[in-house]
Amino acid sequence: MNPPETAQASARRHGPGMGAWRFVIAFGTVSLLADFVYEGARSITGPLLAHLGATAAVVGIVTGIGEAAALVLRLASGPLADRTRRFWAWTISGYALTVITVPVLGLASALWVACALVIAERVGKAVRSPAKDTLLSHAAAVTGRGKGFAVHEAMDQVGALIGPLTVAAVLAATGDNYAPALGVLALPGIAVVALLFWLRSRVPDPTTYETAAPSPAPGAVGTRQAPAREPLPRAFWIYAAFTAATMSGFATFGVLSFHLITHHLLTAAAVPVLYAGAMAVDAAAALASGWAYDRIGPKVLAVLPVLAAGVPVLAFTRSLPLAAAGALLWGAAMGVQESTLRATVADLVGPGRRATAYGIFAAVVGAATAAGGALAGVLYDVSVPALITVTACIQAAALLLLAIIRPSRIPPAR
């Protein structure tokens, strides 16, 4: 008598349990709900820690450690996901850690407990992200890399918009009581975990999307099943350098909002509204660049340094309409960076080492973003014209790096 067939073996014989687009939409819904949870919490992390007695230095150190953990730890979680091939386990564990810590954070009465929970939430992102992006990349091989990642990013940003607004509404209704404001986020958190288990049962082995996809044109990148120990391709490292250059010359929203507040262009309460607008532009830009990527290939990324160079020109003026336009331009650049660059990684690196590549890529983005925020802050204090000039030079260098691999010669993935 033959042993019972495993779910993975059945998936390989019969194909995925749902269409590729349905998988992308379902995974986008997971990200929407998860962003509802953790972006809602992040919108009040500073005030919550201050309520528990934290100084500005403590808030800065704790949130800085959290962001570093969310990115640098992917250098470990990416290779481990590749080595174990347990992508669903890593994804579900990471999301579970996030959605559990957020409601508990609202119940914390000791500062050290709250600090630990803030960092733990970010660790959850590090645990899941390389595996999650790898799972998504398999379905995106069918939908089109650019479109698949773009739709996922757009849905992600819907959650990033709803979460902070929901938390703000509950705080207003309860007289700034953090427990119910964060406790309400348990509901979308439960939905995240339930949807993930359902998805895993329907599509236990998403690699079947990619292996069943039509063969791309000869010479297309990222289409071969690379051995797990094969070195990452040279083109990946050049793209990583391009991304590092772009993000190291990219002002963070923290610097932009500092300018808006110190020059009395907006009230503190109005800044989150502008941020929500930037997130809406982020979603639209992700969709536009994703569709363009599938049509013309990686050369569409040339728009990213152009957008990044334009941000300080508009954002650091003393005109509210121009400064607001700069903030929206920042959102557009983030949309391209969060969607199309991730699609390019999937096209450059075969499935055998893709999670490793995503882990390295995230660490590069995190380090460069930290450097960019620091550089923008220092130059802002010195001279805004100097900030604009240095940013333009850095983005010109990024364009040069992009030209090295001649992206027009790389056919878009199908």
Task: Pinpoint the alpha helices (H) of 144-270.
Answer: 145-174, 178-183, 186-202, 207-212, 234-248, 253-262
With a CB cutoff of 8 Å and minimum separation 6, the contacts of 406 are none
Task: Provide the terminal-to-terminal Cα distance of the chain, rounded to the nearest Å.
Answer: 42
- For 74, the 3-state DSSP assignment is helix
The set of residues, in sequence order, having a beta carbon less than 8 Å from that of 111 and lying 6+ positions away, is: 49, 52, 53, 54, 58
Q: What is the pLDDT of residue 192?
A: 96
pLDDT recorded at residue 25: 94
Do you know the residue count of the chain?
414
> For residue 181, what are its two tokens?
């404001």
- CB-count exposure of residue 345 (10 Å: 0-12, 13-18, 19+): buried
**Amino acid at position 359, single letter:** G
Q: C-alpha distances in angstroms, 375 versus 59, 94, 137, 251, 345?
A: 21, 32, 33, 8, 27
- CATH architecture of the domain with range 234-409: Up-down Bundle (1.20)
pLDDT in tens, the chain (414 residues): 444 444 444 444 445 678 899 999 999 999 999 999 988 887 777 778 878 888 766 776 777 677 778 888 888 999 999 999 899 999 999 999 999 999 999 899 899 999 999 899 989 999 999 999 999 989 988 988 888 988 888 898 889 888 888 888 888 888 888 899 899 999 999 999 999 999 999 999 998 888 755 544 333 333 444 444 678 888 888 888 888 888 888 877 767 777 877 788 877 556 667 877 888 888 888 888 888 888 887 778 889 899 999 999 998 899 999 999 998 998 899 888 877 888 888 888 888 888 898 888 888 887 887 777 778 878 888 888 998 999 999 999 888 878 876 654 444 433
- Would you identify the CATH topology of the domain 12-209? Growth Hormone; Chain: A; (1.20.1250)
Q: In the chain, what are the domain boundaries? A: 12-209, 234-409
Q: How many CB atoms lie within 10 A of CB 369?
A: 19
- Sign of the torsion formed by the C-alpha atoms of 254, 256, 257 and 259: positive
- Which tokens belong to 48? 């919550």
